Amino acid sequence: MQVKYTAEATVEGEGRKGRGRTADGRLDVELSVPKGLGGDDGPGTNPEQLFAVGYAACFHGALKKVARESGASLEGSTIDAKVSIGSVEDGLSLAVELNVTVPGKPQEEVQKLVEAAHQVCPYSRATRGNIEVTLNAVAG
């Protein structure tokens, strides 16, 4: 891999209950544990929320790339991401659902763009074969 960018971050405290910061200072968040994992839903965010935002942003970039290459317009498009954490046989695992909405496009065209984006998105590549990822194309 030819590295183009490296994000650096530090977490302090008790892991899911602490503080996370990027080295460049652009992100500085309090972390809390959701009730579903035994926490109190404190004022901070959690790794699943951060992953949902990261995956949605990355996938949207990939979607725009494949749309540009095919000459399609994605005006008004949105990605809604759901990241779930739950028990599996040997511990905990994640599952992702991405709902991709492209107003004014037929369902079949949106589906083709979503499938193409899933092949090039770095988050999709990283998760492929590791966790369940559900893609839903929504015509608008």
**pLDDT per position as a tens digit, 68-89:** 999 999 999 999 999 999 999 9
Q: What's at 37, amino acid-wise?
A: L
| Cα-Cα-Cα-Cα dihedral sign, residues 35, 41, 46, 51 | positive
Domains and CATH numbers, the chain: 1-45 (2.20.25.10), 47-139 (3.30.300.20)
Identify the pLDDT of residue 139: 78
- Closest alpha carbon to 17 in 38, 36, 44, 37: 44
CA angle 125, 128, 36 (to 5 degrees): 110
What angle in degrees, to the nearest 10, is found between the helix axes of 47-70 and 107-120?
A: 110
- pTM for the model: 0.93
Amino acid in position 51: F
Tens of pLDDT, residues 37-53: 999 878 899 999 999 99
pLDDT of residue 41: 78
At residue 79's C-alpha, the angle toward residues 88 and 28, to 5°, is 75
* Residue 12 CB coordination number (10 Å): 10
Q: How confident is the model at residue 134 (pLDDT cuts 50, 70, 90)?
A: very high
CA distance 83 to 94: 7
Tell me: pLDDT of 140 over 80.
Answer: no
Mean pLDDT of 118-137: 97
Q: What are the pLDDT digits (tens) for 1-50?
A: 999 999 999 999 988 899 999 999 999 999 999 999 999 878 899 999 99
In sign, the C-alpha dihedral spanning 23, 24, 30, 36 is negative
pLDDT digits (tens, 9 = 90+) for 50-68: 999 999 999 999 999 999 9
